[in-house]
Structure 1
Amino acid sequence: MIQRIQSIILFLSFLLNGSVFFNALYEHAVTDPGSWIGITFAVTLTLAALLPLVSIFLYNNRQFQLRVVTISLWTEILALGFGTGIYSSLGGFGSFLWDESIGLGLLIAALLLTLFARKKIKDDIELVKSMDRIR
């Protein structure tokens, strides 16, 4: 069911995670002399973007969808950690890091949206359980 609110929220999370690839924060990660940072950040971002998209189509099995969204949350926390590390390694905080701050904000917004979608999935599971009790 694509019209469920959590499907829309998960798609927005996919878009926000994917948009970090086109941000200055990702460019700094790729151009870092330690190439493992850029590669690991790219893999983590790819997983953080694809897991919410995959979980949209798991609406028939809500318990599995909840597990996939939880894994997505942990992946997004890892991506946020990498993003914060890259951001802080750029030296100083100020107005000259505006583009990188937007990338970090996108990661935080995606994490919050995924948390909200997880809550909505849990609410759906509880609603189905309560309807089964009534029958």
Structure 2
Amino acid sequence: MIQRIQTVFLALAAILNFIVYFTPVYDKAMSDPQTWIGYGLAIALVLPIILNIYSIFLYNNRPSQISWIKISALLQVIALGFGVGVLLSLGGFGTYMWDEALGSGLIFLGLLFQILAIRNIRKDEELVRSMNRIR
């Protein structure tokens, strides 16, 4: 399980989503008078964490693992939308907004790691199919 690179990618995606809770973009979202923005960001971050960790343990069933990661990536895109929305509501990307941009960047990196995990799972699936043809 841990010897596969996609396991590392999924773990990194989950860790990056967890780190977003300690960035200023999350603090700004939770302090927003429109409380649905903060709760939406929190839910859109915790669901991919759970799905990524669950997907790590589906290493024997690669098609199912890919489908769960795709659902997680969709939720990650929603979280990225919330993060960018909070960043733009603060006044856009400027000189003093590096801390807030870091939170949105971590969400994007989590999405990137999920895409890399899907790519590597597909490569494993192709390798298994080619080995079955050889037999």
What TM-score, normalized to structure 2?
A: 0.96
Please name the residue that 1:105 is paired with.
Answer: 105
1:133 maps to 2:124 = no
Matches within 5 A, 1:21-36: 21-36=21-36
Q: 2:120 aligns to what?
A: 120
C-alpha contact 1:73 1:111 (8 A) present in aligned 2: yes
Tell me, yes or no, if the aligned pair for 1:48 and 1:79 is still in contact at 8 Å.
no
The Cα of 1:93 is off from its aligned counterpart by: 2.4
Q: Distance in 2 between matches of 1:92 and 1:122?
A: 38
Q: Contact conserved, 1:76 with 1:107, CA < 8 A, in 2?
A: yes
What RMSD over aligned residues (CA atoms) do the two structures have, in Å? Answer: 0.9
For residue 54 of structure 1, report the CA deviation from its aligned partner: 1.1
In structure 1, what residue type is equivalent to 2:93?
Answer: F
Aligned partners of 1:104 and 1:7: how far apart in 2? 23
After superposing on structure 2, the runs of 4+ consecutive aligned residues of structure 1 that deviate more than 2 Å are none
Judge which range, 89-98 or 28-37, deviates more.
89-98
| Number of residue pairs matched by the alignment | 135
% identity of equivalent residues: 48
Structure 1: runs of 5 or more not aligned: none
Cα displacement (A) at 1:68: 0.6
Superposed CA deviations along residues 29-53 of structure 1, whole A, max 9, x for unmatched, are 1011011111111101101222111
Q: Is the 8 A contact 2:93 2:101 kept in 1?
A: no
TM-score by length of 1: 0.96
